Amino acid sequence: MQNILANVLVIAGAGVLIVALFYVSRLVGQLPSGLVRRRWHILSGLIGFFFLGYIGYTVVFWNRHTAWLDLLVPTVFFFGAGFVWLTVTLALRTAIDIRRVAVLEQENITDPLLGIYNRRYLDRRLQEEFTRARRYSLPLSLLLLDVDHFKRVNDTYGHQVGDLVLNYLGKLLLSVIRATDIIARYGGEEILILTPNTTLSAAAMLAERMRQHVETHELVLTSEPDKRQAIRITISIGVTELGRDVANTAELVHNADAALYRAKEEGRNRVVLGA
């Protein structure tokens, strides 16, 4: 009786370790490459080592458990394997939940059409950067841009193509801005770029790079040689800097909007500096 129970406990423990290894492999797949992932690989090796120990114990002590006290080690083996399995499954569940929360959080602050931040996130960051710039006397600039004659695109090609154009524009702008810049959809086809620690002249240079980058690219709708169809767009950009007389974020955005309006009035496809 003792032999059968001891053998079952050790073999079952080895089986639990195999299941734990399966969960570890799933967990590693949820993790980004780096130190944490490497440490879970090390843990996989340790679990494999324990599994070999269980098998070795089974071979050496097969049918040698003659007293109830002999069941102590097999029992510890079994519950030890259970502890490993429980730890791994909890870690996997936690990793999945963290990733789900991260995805939901990212979706909550991202505009699904342009692939940039949305207005909700922009309002929060704008206030944060405004406060930080005021507190530490740091430069802060703001770019507000609009697609030139976007209504004409919708009227000519339809709103679905208009959405493609906006999505393409978002990708173009993301390829130009810096890592510290904050780009978000302000409303309609208007996009706002917040540039912390950036003077007006540096922001103007960034705006000009963006304008040229958009102007020199085209969105190909049909690539067939005899039916090739592509759309080129241009943008107008208003640029302003946080001055001493700017009382709040609304006034800062208003100055950029006024500069954008002047860019349109002066012929579009240009960068205009505001107050």
Name which of 50, 45, 53, 54 is nearest 24 in CA terms. 45
**Catalytic site residues?**
189
- 117-121: long-range contacts, CB 8 A cutoff, minimum separation 24: 117/182, 117/183, 117/184, 117/185, 118/184, 118/185, 119/184, 119/185, 119/186, 119/187, 121/184
- Cβ count within 10 A of residue 193: 28
Beta strands across the sheet bearing 190-196: 182-187, 190-196, 140-147, 235-241, 271-273
Residue carrying the six token digits 């098998």: 55
How many Cα atoms sit within 13 Å of 135 on the Cβ side? 6
- Coil, helix or strand for 186? strand
